Amino acid sequence: MLDVYNLEEAVTHCQLTIDSVEEALRYLSLNKSWGLYDIVVGNIFSSVLKHSKLQRANEAVRVAQLDLDKMANLLDEINFSSEDYRTVKGIYRRVDIAFDNALMDISVQMNIRLNIRALKELLRELNNLYYFLLAKWNDAL
């Protein structure tokens, strides 16, 4: 039988992880618009502005990754087979500013879209895990 305290901690941290992934997803979704603006306007100012926004998104992704790592450790503690959570890729920041052109802007835009897709899939997996853990915790009470 699973330890109730560890299950409660896993449920709580799973919700925190879901919140941090949702925040990263929000930032990346906002940056998708800035990426399109940079492709259309295409000057150094728009690239710098876009990348200041991307820096916030990268920080949110970093926090989400730390939460995922802790979540995997908690799952190991309760002897629950943890998924191999994928690491979300970083954004091509320096290269895009240095070589400000449409091809690089499109590449960054594609990277943002891939990350959004990966985060949405991860969010689905985390929500399923959350409800599974919640049911196990309720059964253990």
How would residue 73 be classed by pLDDT, with cut points 50, 70 and 90?
A: confident
pLDDT given at position 16: 94
What average pLDDT does this structure show over 62-67? 86
More confident residue, 60 or 81: 60
A 10 A CB-CB count for 2 gives 15
pLDDT reading at 134 higher than 80: yes
* DSSP secondary structure letter of residue 43: S
Q: Tell me the C-alpha distance between 51 and 89, whole Å.
A: 15
Question: 102-118: buried (b, 16+ CB within 10 Å) or exposed (e) per residue?
Answer: eebbeebbebbeebbeb
With a cut of 50, say whether residue 26 has pLDDT above it. yes
Q: What percentage of the chain carries pLDDT values higher than 70?
A: 76
Confidence of residue 2 (pLDDT cuts 50, 70, 90): low
Across 10-21, average pLDDT: 92
Contact partners, residue 89, CB within 8 Å, separation at least 6: 111, 114, 115, 118
Contacts for 74 with CB less than 8 Å, ≥ 6 apart: 6, 9, 10, 13
Confidence tier at 11 by pLDDT (50, 70, 90): very high
> Whole-angstrom Cα distance, residue 64 to residue 96?
24
Average pLDDT for residues 22-47, to the nearest whole number?
78
Q: How confident is the model at residue 48 (pLDDT cuts 50, 70, 90)?
A: confident
| Residue 88 pLDDT exceeds 90 | no
